[in-house]
Amino acid sequence: MVQRQSDVDPSSPQALTQLTEEERLFAASVREFAEAEIKPYVREMDAESRLKPEIIQKCFELGLMSIEPPEEYGGSGGTFFMACLAIEELARVDPSVSVFVDVNNTLVLNAFMRWGTEEQKQKFMPRLAKDTVGAYALSEAASGSDAFALQTRAADAGDHYVLNGRKLWITNSLEAGLFLLFANVDPARGYKGITAFIVEKDAPGFSVGHKEDKLGIRASSTCELILEDCRVPKENVIGEVGKGYKIAIETLNEGRIGIGAQMLGLARGAYECALAYTKERKQFGQAISEFQGVQFQLAEMATEIEAVRLMVYNAARLKDAGQPFIKQAAMAKLYASLAAERIASRAVELYGGYGYTKDYPVEKFYRDSKIGQIYEGTSNMQRQTIARMLLAE
Enzyme catalytic residues: 376
Nearest alpha carbon to residue 73 among 121, 132, 119, 120? 121
The Cα 24–Cα 35 span in angstroms is 16
Distances (CA, A) of 377 to 225, 242, 247, 273, 353: 20, 22, 15, 29, 34
Nearest alpha carbon to residue 172 among 227, 108, 111, 110? 108
Residue 312 near residue 16 (C-beta atoms within 8 A): no
The 3-class SS string of 41-87 reads: HHHHHHHHCCCCHHHHHHHHHCCCCCCCCCHHHCCCCCCHHHHHHHH
The Cα 276–Cα 269 span in angstroms is 11
The Cα 69–Cα 114 span in angstroms is 11
The Cα 19–Cα 17 span in angstroms is 6
> Residue 281 burial by CB count (10 A; 0-12/13-18/19+): exposed, middle or buried?
middle
